[in-house]
Amino acid sequence: MLNIGIIGAGRIGKVHTQSIVNYVRGARVAAVADPFITPETESWAKGLGITAVTKDYKDILADSSIGAVLICSSTDTHSPISLEAIAAGKHVFCEKPIDHDIGRIHEVLAALQAPAAKGLKYMVGFNRRFDHNFRAVRAAVTGGSVGKVELVKVTSRDPEPPSAEYAARSGGIFLDMTIHDFDMVRYLSGQEVTEVFVHPAVLVDPAIGAAGDVDSAVVSLRLESGALAVIDNCRRCAYGYDQRAEVFGSLGAALCGNDANSNAQVWGANGTVGEKPLFFFLERYMQAYATEVTEFLEAVEKDTPVPVTAEDGLQAVRIGIAAKKSAKEGRPVQLSEIA
Ligand SMILES: NC(=O)c1ccc[n+]([C@@H]2O[C@H](COP(=O)([O-])OP(=O)(O)OC[C@H]3O[C@@H](n4cnc5c(N)ncnc54)[C@H](O)[C@@H]3O)[C@@H](O)[C@H]2O)c1
């Protein structure tokens, strides 16, 4: 039985904990750490049979009975806790992004190369790779149905905007939200991005603009084969969480739409009405989160490669930094400019 420690018991920490409790056999959540743990979170943990609840993640790292940790704390803690967890000999699942700073991500990559880290698994939480729709599109691409990839299109719109305060400390839309779409472009095309050109806009909430961020963007990307990609983002979408993708190529296209609670429609004299897309990421990606954590724990158990590596985490952040630079300087930015 593999004992797991959860570091950070906020929204996503609770999702992963619940997935392990509900779906994973051969592993158990042994402890949860969060410096701002509330009585509600403590009783939630106890309700799941988790009795070790601590304010200090170092208690988890010092516990030799715990083999793996899930780092689900705030973004600024990811790389320092990753380094400590690797040094403590734990397998690590780290939520995206590893860090906003490329130098600190390289420190994590270097720590994983050290002889002492041999055999340790390190996976990054790009959950959309585990969504059944995107996986089917990827399978069509790798299976050859699309032919030579010429264009990837990703639509990614949140149902409602975050607060301006959140926008100010999130690292900006490209490192907070679009980072998932950058990873999707790499995942669906199987290619690296070589150039990024952003058209940013504040169309939803001027307070987000005043906080130094944007709430809308069209991002054009060039891929290593010369193929193109385009991402459209908005922080507000009246009909819910809009998550669609298409890969177009020499033989055809593979595309996927949104998920809804049902595909039932009501037909009447004035038109037809169907269900809106599932509300937001916690609704849309519950299956993906469960598959993601299950595959991480399988890689640990079977000593096989993790499906999303630290290198994948690095590349998505590099594209995000290139996008920020493009938005600021109003020009296409080569990935080679980002060290
Ligand atoms: N992959 C995804 O779909 C996805 C979705 C949401 C969030 N995230 C990522 O997960 C991280 C957490 O996001 P969230 O929405 O759950 O935020 P949240 O604010 O709900 O939770 C973060 C938790 O971390 C705790 N924390 C802060 N410092 C800590 C420390 N030193 N040790 C232990 N716990 C600590 C906070 O008290 C809080 O409870 C972010 O980095 C975010 O980018 C990923």
Domain boundaries, the chain: 2-120, 129-287+316-337
Residue 310, CB half-sphere, CA atoms under 13 Å: how many?
24
> Ligand 1, closest atom to CA 12?
16
pLDDT at 238 over 90: yes
In tens, the pLDDT along 46-104 reads 999 998 999 999 999 999 999 999 999 999 999 999 999 999 999 999 999 999 999 99
Q: How far is the CA of 96 from the centre of ligand 1 (A)?
A: 10
pLDDT at 120 over 90: yes
Dihedral-angle region of residue 87 (phi above 0 means left; psi in -120 to 50 means alpha; beta otherwise): alpha
Check for a shared fold between 2-120 and 129-287+316-337: no
Residues at CB less than 6 angstroms from ligand 1: 7-13, 33-36, 57, 72-75, 77, 95-96, 125, 127, 281
Please identify which residue in the block is written with the tokens 């083999």. Answer: 67
**Torsion angles phi and psi, residue 323, rounded to 5:** -65, -40
> Ligand 1, closest atom to CA 8?
34
Question: In whole angstroms, what is the distance from residue 223 CA to residue 193 CA?
Answer: 4
Give the mean pLDDT of the chain.
Answer: 97
In tens, the pLDDT along 286-318 reads 999 999 999 999 999 999 999 999 999 999 999
CATH 3.40.50.800 fits 2-120, yes or no: no
Q: How far is the CA of 228 from the centre of ligand 1 (A)?
A: 33
Q: What is the pLDDT of residue 339?
A: 85
Helix or strand holding residue 127 (H, E): none
CATH 3.40.50.300 fits 129-287+316-337, yes or no: no
Q: How far is the CA of 189 from the centre of ligand 1 (A)?
A: 29
pTM value?
0.96
Q: What percent of the chain lies above the pLDDT cut of 90?
A: 98
Cβ pair 93, 251 in contact under 8 A:
no
107, amino acid identity: E
Q: What is the pLDDT of residue 196?
A: 98
CA dihedral 144, 177, 327, 98 (to 10 degrees): -90
pLDDT at 113 over 90: yes
Residue to substitute in 11, 134, 281, 312 for testing ligand 1 pocket (most ligand atoms within 8 angstroms of CB) = 11
pLDDT at 221 over 90: yes
pLDDT at 262 over 90: yes
Q: How far is the CA of 34 from the centre of ligand 1 (A)?
A: 10
